[in-house]
Amino acid sequence: MDITSLQWIHGGGWDHNSVQQFDPTPMINYANNSFIAVIIQYRLAAFGLLPTPTFSNGAITDARFALQWVQRSISLFGGDPGRVTIWGQSSGGGTILHLLAAEARSKDARLWRASIVSSPYLVPMGKCDTGYFRDQFRAFAAAANCTFTNVINNPASSNLDSYNSHDNLSLACLRELHTDTLKILSHTFDSIRGAGHSSAYEPCIEGEGGYLVRNTADELVRGNIAGDWAIAGSNLHDGSTFVSTSIIPPAGTPSSNFSAVADSLLNSTLIADLPLTQEEILEVMNVWYPLDQFSDNHARGAQIFQDVTFACPANWVAEAKGQRGWRYLYAIGTAVHAQDNAYEFPIHYNTLAPVSPSLYATYIGAATSFIRASPPSPNTFNLPLDWPAWGAGAGSYKVMNVSTTANTSTSYVVAAGHDQTWIGTRDRCAFWANVRRGSW
């Protein structure tokens, strides 16, 4: 039969969610059973992204392992291993960004043909064996009573002779603990973030000999990504739930001091979430995101987080593929982060957005057409698909939206050079590309 297949990688900040929330039946039914879906489970939190002396980024390599399984086995289900599309949202999309960069350097057989990233979560990276990531492993080991002293005094540890360092001994000790103990400790560390980091558990740069050899953001900007075709998207208000409204100056703040208070509050947030220098923070606030361009300081902070983490990485993917890359903006309802799951997986997430059959046909119709045909067909199940490639339109993108009165699709194309504020302007994304080169 040799039909196409989709491999979905779920989001959840690399610390929660599972396959149970992501039933692909509605989109398969819409596409008349014309593709196979594989929804993967992968290790999360400490099990998937706690760096260790001998390996790191298990969540990312789990996804790669699943793709390798698809290559070996999808033909047994009637699928064509040469026609695989990968799709991920949030940290699932972030996982795909890391795969795109890593597999571009790989000499192994190709694992997919096309990719879709929805609000891809590209948080700061760093070297796995230094600084934050090394200290995170040591703190985790200490919390588990797996420091060097505890290990060598534990007669139950019988397989330690092959290790000769503090960290290797700690890792061996952790491996002997009960899974439930590690789960509790992993959950405890979910709320512990170091300065300059957006999540508790994040992918890191392994260097030569590892899988994530270089900084993924830098690889995307350079255009070093795997696969033939790509769709990249973000939501209108992706950043709003990641920034606290407490950065809005309190009522009664004198107008003469309002901007200074707003800058001070935003400065603290940027220090907490991003590894920026103070000079870079001043440039962010004064040059690229001045307060007078936003309705309030929260909207300002949300746009910053949205650009650096979701929107600009999506642009870099579309830019890298040029004539074979498409960009969209999900703008339905409040369009906060993950709200698009309502259309991708309505069985579990149907309450997140208004139901619109015509918008479903536009959004999921385009996605399933892409999965089946790559590139998107000019006719999506008898619905015209006016959506130029990013390269062909020199930065054009598709806005997915519905009318608030008739609840029908009002999706449209924004031409290059017009309002790109919500998807990251070229100047702002160029700034972030320059800042993110190197270690994060």
Instruction: For residue 100, give Cα distances in angstroms to 6, 96, 124, 177, 240.
Output: 16, 6, 17, 34, 27
Query: Of 277, 302, 327, which closes a domain?
Result: 302
Output the six-digit token pair for 92: 């699932």
pLDDT of residue 163: 30
By residue count, the chain amounts to 440
Q: Are 53 and 167 within 8 A, CB to CB? A: yes
- What pTM did the predictor assign? 0.93
Residue 256 belongs to some domain of the structure: yes
Question: How large is the greatest C-alpha to C-alpha distance in the chain, in angstroms?
Answer: 71
Residues 183 and 215 in one domain: no
Residues 284 and 210 in one domain: no
- Separation CA 21–CA 302 (nearest Å): 27
- Mean pLDDT, consecutive 10-residue stretches, the chain (440 aa), reads 93 94 95 96 97 95 98 97 97 98 91 98 91 90 84 46 65 96 95 86 94 96 96 96 96 95 97 94 98 97 98 96 92 92 91 78 89 69 68 76 62 70 92 87
Output the six-digit token pair for 219: 């690889």
Instruction: For residue 64, give Cα distances in angstroms to 14, 97, 226, 272, 390.
Output: 15, 12, 13, 31, 27
φ, ψ for residue 39 (rounded to 5)? Answer: -105, 120
pLDDT of residue 52: 93
403 is catalytic: no
Residues 148 and 270 in one domain: no
Which sign, positive or negative, has the C-alpha torsion 408, 414, 420, 421?
negative
Which residue type is seen at 228?
D
Query: Of 302, 322, 341, which closes a domain?
Result: 302
Q: How many domains does the chain have?
A: 3
Neighbours of 386 (CB within 10 A): 10
Sequence-distant (6+) residues with CB within 8 A of 410 are: 401, 402, 403
Residues 282 and 342 in one domain: no
Q: Are 99 and 68 within 8 A, CB to CB? A: no
Residue 64 belongs to some domain of the structure: yes
pLDDT of residue 392: 66
φ, ψ for residue 69 (rounded to 5)? Answer: -60, -45
pLDDT of residue 245: 96
Residue 195 belongs to some domain of the structure: no
Residues 341 and 217 in one domain: yes
Output the six-digit token pair for 22: 């992501």
Residue 194 belongs to some domain of the structure: no
Residue 135 belongs to some domain of the structure: yes
pLDDT of residue 388: 85
Neighbours of 395 (CB within 10 A): 20
Secondary structure class of 6 (helix, strand, coil):
strand
Residues 364 and 410 in one domain: yes
Residues 298 and 330 in one domain: no
Residues 76 and 206 in one domain: yes
Q: What CATH number has the domain bearing residue 350?
A: 3.40.50.1820
- Separation CA 340–CA 202 (nearest Å): 23
Q: Are 33 and 41 within 8 A, CB to CB? A: no
Sequence-distant (6+) residues with CB within 8 A of 411 are: 359, 362, 363, 398, 399, 400, 401
Residues 329 and 264 in one domain: no
Residues 62 and 139 in one domain: no
Residue 111 belongs to some domain of the structure: yes
Residue 137 belongs to some domain of the structure: yes
Which residues span the domain enclosing 180? Answer: 131-189
Per the residue annotation, which of 5, 56, 90, 369 is the catalytic one?
90
Query: Of 189, 212, 229, which closes a domain?
Result: 189
Residues 143 and 247 in one domain: no
pLDDT of residue 160: 40
Q: What is the DSSP string of 336-391?
A: BTTTTHHHHSHHHHGGGS---HHHHHHHHHHHHHHHHHSS--SEETTEE-----TT
Residue 36 belongs to some domain of the structure: yes
pLDDT of residue 162: 31
The rounded Cα 419 to chain-centroid distance in angstroms is 24
Residues 271 and 419 in one domain: no
